[in-house]
A and B are shown apart, each in its own frame.
Chain A
Amino acid sequence: EDKVVQSPLSLVVHEGDTVTLNCSYEVTNFRSLLWYKQEKKAPTFLFMLTSSGIEKKSGRLSSILDKKELFSILNITATQTGDSAVYLCAYLSGTYKYIFGTGTRLKVLA
């Protein structure tokens, strides 16, 4: 059965810290992996990864995919209180379903 597992489930850090969030997957017919940030309601799109080893960056956030080892990481440097949210990873399967992981709840303290 296809699945996506994220770790840690929750994380508390102080402003300025760097965090690494993990997403491992076991899927058939992988197409892409996506990262989202969910604060209160709608998840907002962060990254889409399809190729191994190519880092994607957006400001203080970056992400990379390892298709051989079946995982992805999301890095956030110099964290701010506004980074507090639930971070979700999802994969797009060969049957065109977006399946989400359990999420990592990040809290950044001032």
Chain B
Amino acid sequence: GAVVSQHPSRVICKSGTSVKIECRSLDFQATTMFWYRQFPKQSLMLMATSNEGSKATYEQGVEKDKFLINHASLTLSTLTVTSAHPEDSSFYICSAEVQGDGEKLFFGSGTQLSVL
């Protein structure tokens, strides 16, 4: 299956700092990537849809100035959590759509963000 690489897997930062998370499609081109957030024992909540070469589409209630998404190439999307606060602590996971054999979603390994 398709491989999606996400880094870092874990990050601990101080309140007020910014954190960048990278999501790469390793063996395919991804014009669309999705960013999800997951709280403990809860499901995946879609934050935004990242489109290569254009602005991301954010879900209702997600602050676009806080969660900056850049999709500059067909294999890389980044999520930057700006001025992080403890309430931003969560598991962030990216995914990319693989077309050709129906539309399937493949996930990165996720990033556990802890803001002190």
Contact = CB atoms under 8 A, between A and B. Distances in A.
Nearest to A6: B43
Instruction: Summarize B's interface: helix, strand, loop or mixed.
Output: strand
A45 B104 CA distance: 8
B103 A43 contact: no
Interface residues of B, number: 25
**Chain A facing B: main interface SS:** strand
B113 to A, nearest CB: 14
B41 A105 contact: yes
Given A31-B103, A42-B108, A50-B102, A98 B41 contact: no
Contact of B109 (A41, A98, A101): A41
Interface string B45-61: 11001000000000000
A70 B88 CA distance: 35
Nearest to B44: A100
Interface of B: 1, 4, 9, 32, 34, 36, 41-46, 49, 93, 95, 97, 102-110
Interface of A: 31-32, 34, 36, 41-45, 48, 50, 88, 90, 92, 96-103, 105
